[in-house]
Amino acid sequence: MPTIAKNKKAYHDYEILKTFEAGVILSGPEVKSARSGQINLAGGYITIDQQETPWLINIRIAPYPPAFTAQQNYDPLQNRKILLHKKEIISLIGKIRTQGLTLIPLRVYTKKGLIKIEVGLVKGKKKWDKRENIKKRETKIKIQRRLKR
């Protein structure tokens, strides 16, 4: 499963509680553009509307240059539909509304020729949580350096 794009900022800003694999509905030129790495997950999130349909919001897929004629009125930031199982959607709705959690895209990858997205159920970190993680990482690096000597 080669990774196409990764949301690095998400791992820093959020505590990831659970991950899901989901499909994304894309047009032909969007698929080619995504496979060439022209996708940006930063600032993206997932909402679930009244009809229990999950939507990928604020993800930028650049227009594919060879398909210029097919993409005359193309909006790179358009909302895209996410494909999840009905049971997953229902459980996510409950967790988002009652516990105040968020759904964000973590990475985009290919699986058996299809574009898949890894969705994370996350909780925002406080500033002191981020500092604590940095301290842990630095101490781990110091230990590794001393063990090498």
Domains, in order of start, for the chain: 3-148 (2.40.280.10)
Identify the three-state secondary structure at position 36. coil
Helices (H), 80-119: 86-99
> pLDDT per residue over 33-88, tens digit each?
888 888 988 888 999 988 989 999 999 888 887 776 767 777 778 899 999 999 99
pLDDT at residue 149 greater than cutoff 80: no
Tell which wins on pLDDT, 126 or 107.
Answer: 107
Q: Rounded CA gap, 48 and 119, in Å?
A: 13
Residue range 18-35, pLDDT digits in tens: 999 999 998 888 888 888
Residue ranges in 1-149 assigned as alpha helix (H): 8-13, 28-35, 86-99, 127-148
| pTM of the predicted model as reported, rounded to 2 decimal places | 0.76
Residue 43 confidence (pLDDT) = 87
Q: State what percent of residues in the chain have pLDDT above 70.
A: 98
Q: Is 85 left (phi over 0), alpha (psi -120 to 50) or beta?
A: beta
Q: What mean pLDDT do residues 120-135 have?
A: 81
Q: Which has the higher per-residue pLDDT, 130 or 47?
A: 47
Q: Read off the pLDDT of each residue in 3-19 and give the average, rounded to a whole number.
A: 87
DSSP letter string over 35-77? HTT-EE-TT-EEEE-TTS-EEEES-EE---GGGTTTTTT--TT
State the pLDDT at residue 2: 86
